[in-house]
Amino acid sequence: MEKWEAAYVAGIIDGEGSITLTRMHEKEHRRPCITIASTDKELLIYIQSLTRGIIINKKNYNPNKYKNSYTLYIKKKLDVFNTLQSITPFLRIDQKRERAKWILNNYDTVTPRNGKYSQELLNEKLMFEEKFFKL
């Protein structure tokens, strides 16, 4: 991603996106996720071409009154980390910039590659999540 593209994506995330930790399945630990919601699918397709991810159509219960809306989900760890590394210097919203830095600096230290947690590492992971949501 070029610098100007990273700055553009950061602006979109500042305005219409979120940087969070989410669960893909009920009983698993949270993992980083970037989402961007929009009624402009063309915009999301462009950002998807830079960041990867998937676009989901949102259910529109009243199409006569509301536009169709879509959400781009960036869930794969490598895609999330690459995106965060590119956009973090350009984020203007303090909470989003701090969350991006927190993930980049701490997520790997509390997440074992094999997915097996010792009690100590599990406690660290839970503290990581707790501090993240306080940012």
Phi and psi at residue 69, to the nearest 5°: -130, 160
* Cα separations in angstroms, 99 against 2, 76, 91, 134: 22, 17, 11, 10
- Binned at pLDDT 50, 70 and 90, residue 114 comes out as confident
pLDDT in tens, 27-67: 888 999 999 999 999 999 999 999 999 999 988 888 888 88
What residues does 18 pair with on adjacent strands? Answer: 35
Q: How much is the pLDDT for 62?
A: 86
Number of H helices, E strands in the chain: 5, 4
pLDDT given for residue 93 in this prediction: 97
pLDDT of 71 reads 97
pLDDT at position 58, please?
A: 87
Confidence of residue 110 (pLDDT cuts 50, 70, 90): very high
CA 128/CA 135 separation, integer angstroms: 11
pLDDT for the residue 113: 83
Phi, then psi, of 66 in degrees rounded to 5: -120, 150
Average predicted confidence (pLDDT) for the chain: 94
Strand partners for 20: 33
Which domains are delineated in the chain?
A: 3-134 (3.10.28.10)
Mean pLDDT over 83-104 rounds to 97
Contacts (Cβ under 8 Å, ≥6 apart) of 69? 37, 38, 39, 57, 58, 60
pLDDT tens-digit map of 75-88 = 999 999 999 999 99
